[in-house]
């Protein structure tokens, strides 16, 4: 489970790059019950989402030419500069060099050797999200990759992640569960699985990370997705021991998952 003490290597933040900030704010407010707090009242270029008054995500204007709208997931690190060196040693590349965001912290963004994009956050006054693993907040992260073995090696070198493996039902292949270095298995925070390029049509064959948001009712959340201009790629369907889930796209085709966790 994801917790807000943010062990090194654990997901601690996420933000969405959207071509239309007001439309994205309205969509996620309707689907996940979020409140949007603009940090730029004049231009509506970005701000924060809150749930029950607590920060659950960020939102900004998509400005990178040719980029698709997508969620960027940040992992907590103690030293963003050292992590940048580790990324480069392991064969990844730097998209955004380490930079300070006032007193809040230091961030950097990268691309893994297969093409998956991710980011890191070195906390200052802000450790990251204020609400996780509750309905309407981040509960899991997933990497869809073309080479699971290479991805495990890369992220293992960068973050020291630990892995365990489970077989998906119906011959769906292996799913590799991720736990931060030195943490017990109950602190697992995500997974990765291998898919062919033909199964990654959303990104033209390039690997990608996406977030999983916990919800009280998966079917109701999916209905809100479609009612508000989004689409459903898969589901809703039940996953034994996991819960009821659906893979969705927002109005700008940014992907995310909604999950009603199984009863423990």
The DSSP-derived string for 37-99 is EES-TTT--EEEEEETTEEEEEEEE--STTPPPEEEEEEE-S-HHHHHHHHHHTT-EEEEEEE
User: Considering only CA atoms, which of 166, 171, 244, 182 is closest in space to residue 212?
Assistant: 244
**53 near 67, Cβ under 8 Å?**
no
Quick one: pLDDT at residue 235?
Answer: 84
DSSP label at 168? P
pTM of the model: 0.95
Residue 126, CA atoms < 13 Å, CB-side half-sphere: 18
Quick one: pLDDT at residue 41?
Answer: 55
Banded pLDDT at 170 (limits 50, 70, 90): low
Mean pLDDT (whole number) for 33-56: 86
Which tokens sit at 68?
A: 């698709």
H helical segments located in 132-257: 148-159, 218-227
Checking if the pLDDT of 224 tops 60, the result is: yes
Banded pLDDT at 127 (limits 50, 70, 90): very high
DSSP label at 225? H
Quick one: pLDDT at residue 95?
Answer: 96
Question: Regarding predicted confidence, which is higher, 30 or 2?
Answer: 30
Quick one: pLDDT at residue 39?
Answer: 81
Quick one: pLDDT at residue 198?
Answer: 86
Quick one: pLDDT at residue 146?
Answer: 95
DSSP label at 150? H
Quick one: pLDDT at residue 196?
Answer: 87
Checking if the pLDDT of 264 tops 60, the result is: yes
Report the range of poorest mean pLDDT among 35-39, 40-44, 164-168: 40-44
Banded pLDDT at 50 (limits 50, 70, 90): very high
Question: Domains in the chain, ordered, with CATH?
Answer: 11-123 (3.10.180.10), 138-256 (3.10.180.10)
Mean pLDDT (whole number) for 11-30: 96
d(CA 62, CA 52): 27
Checking if the pLDDT of 171 tops 80, the result is: no
Neighbours of 154 (CB within 10 A): 22
Q: Which helix (H) or strand (E) holds 105?
A: strand 105-111
Which residue bears the tokens 């009712």? 217
Checking if the pLDDT of 96 tops 70, the result is: yes
d(CA 99, CA 105): 9
Banded pLDDT at 247 (limits 50, 70, 90): very high
For helices 148-159 and 80-89, angle between their N-to-C axes, nearest 10 degrees:
140
Which residue bears the tokens 């890369």? 154
**38 near 47, Cβ under 8 Å?**
yes
Q: Which of 36-45, 59-68, 199-208, 214-223 shows the highest mean pLDDT?
A: 214-223
């Amino acid at each position: 489970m994801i917790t807000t003490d943010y062990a090194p290597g654990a997901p601690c933040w996420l933000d969405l790059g959207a071509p239309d900030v007001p439309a994205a704010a309205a969509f996620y407010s309707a689907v996940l019950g979020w409140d949007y707090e603009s940090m730029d009242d004049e231009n509506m270029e970005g701000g924060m989402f809150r749930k029950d008054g607590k920060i659950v995500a960020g939102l900004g204007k998509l400005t990178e030419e040719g980029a698709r709208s997508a969620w960027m997931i940040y992992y907590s690190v103690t030293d963003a500069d050292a992590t940048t060196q580790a990324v480069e040693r392991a064969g990844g590349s730097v998209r955004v060099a380490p930079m300070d965001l006032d007193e809040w912290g230091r961030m950097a963004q990268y691309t893994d050797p297969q093409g998956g994009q991710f980011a890191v956050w070195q906390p200052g006054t802000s450790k990251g999200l204020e609400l996780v693993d509750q309905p309407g907040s981040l509960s899991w992260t997933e990497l869809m990759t073309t080479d699971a073995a290479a991805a495990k090696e890369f992220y293992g070198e960068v973050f020291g992640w630990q892995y365990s493996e489970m077989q998906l039902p119906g011959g769906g292949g292996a799913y590799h569960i991720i736990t931060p270095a030195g943490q017990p298995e109950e602190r697992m925070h995500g997974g990765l699985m291998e898919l062919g390029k033909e199964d990654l049509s959303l990104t033209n064959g390039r690997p990608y990370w996406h977030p999983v948001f916990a919800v009280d009712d998966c079917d109701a959340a999916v209905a809100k997705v479609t009612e508000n201009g989004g689409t459903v790629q898969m589901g809703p369907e039940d996953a034994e021991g996991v819960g009821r889930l659906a893979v969705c796209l927002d109005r700008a085709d940014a992907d995310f998952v909604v999950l009603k966790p199984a009863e423990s």
